[in-house]
Amino acid sequence: MQQKKFEELFESYLKNELSVSDEQKLMEMIRQNSHDDFLKEKIDLMLRENPSSELLDKEKSDYILNRILSDSENSQKVVLLEPKRRNKKVVVRLLFAAASIIALIAIGNSLFFKPKTENAIPITELPVIAENTSVDFSGKQLVRLPDGSTVILNDNSTLKYEQNSFGNKTREVTLTGEAFFDIKRNEKKPFIVHTGKVQTKVLGTAFNINAFDSSKNIEVTVSRGKVQVGDAEKIYGVITPNQQIKVNKNTLNFEQNTTSAAVVTKWKSNYLILDDINMEEAVALISQKYKVQILLSNEKIRNCRITASFLNDEDLDHVLKVISSVIETEYRYNKTGTIILDGKGCE
């Protein structure tokens, strides 16, 4: 059903028949990684069948690209699909979820976009972002907030904040669903998560909040540091690692328990997040997740840095192909099944 809906939205987009809200839905679905095959096949088919016709005009394609890849301060996107070299170290921000469509659109101006004919369909006016607007994220993804804090969203979850007020005196976000927070410490600007009437307040720590609509409780569990949980009138308690406060959404009655943070956050165990780390650290995480041995043939490969998020339980070869393309290496299996990464590496 979702695939059919996506195809209908994409077809309507090509015909300039989408409303602003439907365009938002389409862009969100592109970022969710589940329609790459359709997009690749569709665009390939259009190119073969209409080599000289206009598929997407430049302004429209730039809009898609900016929506997916924008990395400005006010951007709703967290991760950038564009290799950057700084001091000869590879620093790559990948939004691999939309890799196929982005790569094809990025070719754009020299391949896809032909001069307009007299009968070209007018471009729908692009939406203007209001001065005071919220930044919204939905679906499983890694979110990097303006202060450098990171949030891992679970499936069917949303996170939002006001872009003009975030970080002025406090850093406040609103969560629906479940998320794992890793917050940069700032004693002058507390970080506050709103989940209904419940407020979770921290200065800098790592914790999990489960606030799905289907649940009668809001559960806050600490992995690192201290977390204060309460509402507008009172503080329920301050909890530390492997402690949890459970709050009834309706009555606001609460209880504090000891629990295992590792068990509570097991939902993100299928995620592989490489957040601006060197290849030595990346190899350790990949080896741990896939239970394989990976060796670097060149010591300089250890110096390469990478940022990538794999949130859909991708297989090992998929991960290795992405990483190899990013840091310009090749991988192979030896006779014992050990994976060898070959390449020049980074200075």
Q: Let me know if residue 132 belongs to a domain.
A: no
Whether residues 212 and 282 fall in one domain? no
Range of the domain at 244: 141-266
In-domain check, residue 128: no
In a domain, 220, yes or no: yes
Which H or E run contains 261?
helix 261-264
Token duo for residue 202: 């921290």
Residue 123 within any structural domain of the chain: no
- Tell me the pairing of strands 339-343 and 294-296: parallel
Residues 296, 242 within the same domain: no
Residues 80-97: tens digit of each pLDDT: 333 333 333 333 333 333
Q: Across 1-5, 122-126, 171-175, which has the greatest mean pLDDT?
A: 171-175
Q: What is the pTM of this model?
A: 0.61
The rounded distance, in Å, linking the Cα atoms of 12 and 15 is 5
Same domain, 152 and 244: yes
* pLDDT confidence of residue 310: 92
Supply the CATH number for residue 245's domain: 2.60.120.1440
pLDDT at residue 104 is higher than 50: no
**Range of lowest pLDDT (12-26, 63-77, 258-272, 299-313):** 63-77
Which of 303, 297, 296, 299 shows the shortest CA–CA distance to 346? 303
Q: Measured between alpha carbons, how far is residue 87 from residues 80, 279, 304, 305, 347 in Å?
A: 19, 16, 11, 11, 8
Average pLDDT, the chain: 79
What was the pLDDT predicted at 26? Answer: 76
Do both 310 and 231 map to the same domain? no
Say whether both 41 and 91 belong to one domain. Answer: yes
- Run of H or E including 23: helix 20-31
Q: Sorting pLDDT into bands at 50, 70 and 90, what band is 45?
A: low
| Residue at 133 is within a domain | no
> How would residue 117 be classed by pLDDT, with cut points 50, 70 and 90?
very low
**CATH classification at residue 292:** 3.55.50.30
243-268 tens-digit pLDDT: 999 999 999 999 999 999 999 999 99
What is the predicted pLDDT for the residue at 76? 38
Is residue 16 domain-shared with residue 91, that is, in the same domain? yes
Same domain membership, residue 93 and residue 9: yes
Q: What local confidence, expressed as pLDDT, does residue 336 receive?
A: 92
Query: Which domain-ending residue is among 206, 238, 266?
Result: 266
- 177 with 233, same domain? yes
pLDDT computed for residue 48 by the predictor: 59
Same domain, 206 and 312: no
Q: How many domains does the chain have?
A: 3
Are 211 and 314 part of one and the same domain? no
How many angstroms separate the CA atoms of 47 and 32, rounded? 24
The more confident residue out of 262 and 19 is 262
The predicted pLDDT at position 34 comes to 66
**Reported confidence tier of residue 128, pLDDT bands at 50, 70, 90:** low
Residue 205: inside a domain, yes or no?
Answer: yes
* Of the candidates 322, 324, 266, 317, the residue with the CA atom closest to the CA atom of residue 297: 324
Domain boundary among 60, 94, 111: 111
Domain end among 93, 111, 129: 111
Residues 253 and 282 both lie in one domain: no
Do both 98 and 42 map to the same domain? Answer: yes
